Amino acid sequence: MDYRKLGQQITELVGKRDNIARLTHCATRLRFELHDISKAETEKLKALPGVITVVNNGGQYQVVVGNEVQQVYRVITQQMGSATGSGDSKSDSGKNNGSKQKQSWISRFISVISTTFTPVIPAIIGAGMIKAILAVLVLTGLVTTESQNYYILNTIADAAFYFMPILLAYGASIKFETSPILAMTVAGVLLHPGWSALMAEGKDVFFIGVPVRLTDYAGSVLPIIIVVWLMSYIERFADRVSPSKIKFFTKPMIVLLITAPLALVAIGPFGTYLNDLVAMGAEAINARASWLIPLLMGTLQPFLIVTGTAWAMTPIATSQLTKNGYEMINGPGMLASNIAQGGATLAVALKTKNKKLKQLAASSGFTAVLGITEPSLYGVTLKLKKPLIAAMIGGGVAGIYAGLTGLVRYAFVSPGLAALPAFIGSNPMNIVHAIVTCLIAFIVTFALTWIIGFEDPVDDDEEGNTNVNDDKTLSEQLVKDNTPSMQSAATTNANVSSPNESGPLTIASPMQGELVHLDRVPDDVFSLGLLGKGAAIIPAKGELYAPISGEVTAFMDSKHAVKLNGYDGEEVLIHIGVDTVNLKGRHFHSSIKVGDRIKRGDLLITFDIDAIKLEGYEVITPIIIANSEHFPDIKLEKQSRVDVGATIIQLS
């Protein structure tokens, strides 16, 4: 799959860069928050090769692309210049506010939970799988619970859950547009050993005369989300009241000095109370009707996924795992639902005569029984309808069994055959009940799908019909644009589009620092050369100079990236830092604009290295030859310290 082309197409069809307020992703889908959703061309998006479907629910515009989502996400965020959104122009801000006002409080809550948890998912899934492996090792006698090996592996697995507030602080800071480093620092205050020592003493604690409730925040969810939300307002206040000359010192001081005490005295205890109240309600329901929650989850999980409301249960399940070591809210019902989706889809694969549907159903059905159901749901069962009904019935029947037998999940993983070890724990029968749940879900659903059938679509190849002409035209048009993440100049040196054949061209170092290979850049789009060949510099001084003579053809509003077209056909893209578009121009200064003629050695941009690092961003700067395909021989100088003007790249 051409991820770069697909990323360009998706960006274009959601309303282009300026319409995107924020972008995150989960296991299978891109989650956009758009300023004006009416600009998105949903039907064209659904028709794109590589896109399974589009969902508009839960306060997000979701483009489902399946297991390749991470690669597509990386390409789009680089094209956009941001992993968390851009395009907050004045012309769009009003629309954005309006759209937020129209969202229900449920949609806003789910949007917050989704954006906050999405960056954390890899950590808790990785930790959950280690827990599952550890359970297998103990069960087979290869490791004992008293051994040091067990202790170390268990510590690794527990870390993500113990430090959950710090991980969630990062995701919440993206949602509420505040400093990730300061948010994580406040979370660190809640988990500090000194706080644990106060709890161990058990004495009354006061801060400036106000009593402080001693609460254990390890593994908590809601307290830090509320704290970071409040901190976003405190940071704006600190930004306004801090004198510009000393803002570098006063702003973070004010934020921490106000937010941290409030978190300890008021917000943290309140959030913990809410967290416990919700958990108690779920446990009360489970105590009186143990079958009810797994039944509902097993039956309605596809509906929750489609509407985007599946995230609403995540804080409860995470809290139960942290406090009890197991949870019964999400895991049992999701296991039944996921296996049922796989059963319905594999039945379709065996029964259909449509070659394309057979191939899609076979691959997505296999993925579903392993635990990832979006390709199956959106690509097969939702479109055919009757298999979806069969999957909901089969998931509900298996959910009843899971609830009646007290099935629980011991680790946070996507329930499926690949994650069955997550159901191995202190109760030896738990894994048996998990396996029986899978068998019931699969057999009931497969049989129902086979019996009630579905409307088998006619094979496109037989009819000779394809609907790719419009997409092909769109793709060709998008590929012509060499700078999808920036506003291009009206003219791009049309008279100098071919390289100078008289000798090698040289690209000068645009800054003082350490010259390194692109693989040092912590961003795959650069390090893998997806945008072109080149080098990178770790700057020692916050000044960027022109590496060639030519014209400014693209310049980000956030002033962190610029594209230059040289008079001999070379095109150079310079990107100061990684994800620095999130700074929205803070710490960058420049007076250049698109269309300016520049000479090699002209000062283009100045930036504050220390301030950028303080906000948690890398300053390593890729220098990319955007039209590398025009130069068959690109030679890079050896890694070393370089001064401005020194040759770093030769083009022939």
Q: Which residues are catalytic?
A: 26, 575
Burial tier of 193 (Cβ tally within 10 Å: 0-12, 13-18, 19+): exposed
What contacts 479, CB < 8 A, 6 or more positions away? 5, 8
Distance CA 425, CA 593 (A): 62
Whole-number Cα distances in Å, 328 to 125, 373, 406:
17, 20, 8
If you compute the radius of gyration of the chain from its CA atoms, what whole number of angstroms results? Answer: 27
Q: What token pair was written down for 202?
A: 């058990």
Distance CA 438, CA 436 (A): 5
Pick from 616, 385, 441: which is nearest to 522 by CA?
Answer: 616
For the four alpha carbons of 79, 85, 88 and 94, in that order, the dihedral sign comes to positive
Q: Would you give the DSSP letter of residue 409?
A: B
- Contact between 32 and 22 under an 8 Å Cβ cutoff? The reply is yes
- What is the three-class DSSP state of 30? strand
Residue 602's Cα: distance from chain center in Å?
A: 38
Closest Cα to residue 532, out of 488, 575, 576, 578?
575
β-strand partners of 184? none
Task: Provide CB contacts within 8 A for 63, sequence distance 6+.
Answer: 10, 14, 29, 30, 32, 45, 51, 54
Separation in Å, CA 312 to CA 110, 244, 308, 330 = 6, 41, 9, 10
How far is it, in rounded angstroms, from Cα 527 to Cα 627?
Answer: 16
* Rounded-to-integer distance, Cα 13 and Cα 302, Å: 26
- Cα–Cα nearest to 389, from 456, 453, 438: 453
CA distance linking residue 407 with residue 333, whole number of Å: 9
